[in-house]
Amino acid sequence: MGESENIIRRRDAHARGVTDIEIRRLCRSGIWTRLSRGVYVPTRVYADADERGRHLYRALAAAQIARPGTVLGHVSAAIAHGLELWRTPLDDVHLTCGRSGGNGRSRGRILHAEHFEADEVVDIDGVAVMSVARTVADLARTLPFEQAVVAGDHAMRTAGVAGAEVSAILARNPSHPGNAKAVRAVRFMCGHSDSVGESRSRVLFVRSGLPIPYTQAEVYAGGGQWLARVDFLLPEHGVIGEFDGRVKYRRDGVADAAAEEVVFREKQREDRLREAGWVVVRWVWADLERPEIVVARVREAIARAARGPRPSGHVVTPQGLHLR
């Protein structure tokens, strides 16, 4: 967390010869921003940070003045670990203290009174933070299903967190009111979703009653040559689904040269898949806001594939399954 280097504590300012009168003047003039009692950050640094960065600054400031035994948890721990979040409010800093009662909320701060084990806490640049696995468990208990899956998928992909590890943490507190929904979310999490859009697409498939796809499968032609790794695969239906969130455009909506090259290569890739007999269906980020569009496209693709011959070749899933 490079942000910790920009945090200014009152006692450190004093050690450098800055008086309280000067601190107040720096804050009044807008040079420093006060994050919490006795903790500041240069205003330009804070203003230049994005929403996640500003939340992290506030979280680090809260950790500076928290009581011993209090750690960053929940959403704040997710930010500290760099986990992806989607439509998850970042207004409040979340702290967890290891006592059985006394949940509290103050301006910009939520205190969770929950027991935790020593192995569920890690040190990040001198700040006590819930581990990635415990953070995923806490988010699964408190966030809506889709938001929890987004964070959990990213944790499994980038931090190597296993579902069994998160489930074991949930089992330590079986009476937690959020455990039932957390267990369902953790079972659905997968480390093979490459983006927030892909995680949301997987949730859409299950909520809409569509067949559950394999993710990030490798597709081979009849002669054995590799064709592509695809986002979503329905091998029994001969359908491939692709979430297209990778092409970048200028602000005027026109693809730059690099993006045009990506589009050209994607078309060639898709042509190879279609030549092998697969029906390919695509959707983009905006389509996820109108899920009925995606559902209709997938169902139409399944119907179209059923009218044609079976694809040639075979596929290999990340789990090592070979399907023909």
Mean pLDDT for the stretch of residues 67-75: 95
Beta strands in 79-213 (DSSP E): 93-97, 104-106, 109-113, 121-124, 127-130
Residues 231 and 82: their CA atoms lie apart, in Å, by: 23
For the domain made up of 212-323, the CATH class stated in words is alpha beta
**Which pLDDT score is estimated for 141?**
97
Q: What is the pTM of this model?
A: 0.89
Q: How confident is the model at residue 268 (pLDDT cuts 50, 70, 90)?
A: confident
Domain ranges of the chain: 46-191, 212-323
Q: What is the pLDDT of residues 6-42, one digit of tens each?
A: 999 999 999 999 999 999 999 999 999 999 999 999 9
**Which pLDDT score is estimated for 257?**
52
Residue 57: what residue type? Answer: Y
Contact present, 167 and 118 (Cβ < 8 Å): no
Mean pLDDT for the stretch of residues 261-273: 79
Q: How confident is the model at residue 258 (pLDDT cuts 50, 70, 90)?
A: low
Residues 37 and 61: their CA atoms lie apart, in Å, by: 8
Whether pLDDT at 99 is above 90: no
40 beta partners: 8, 34
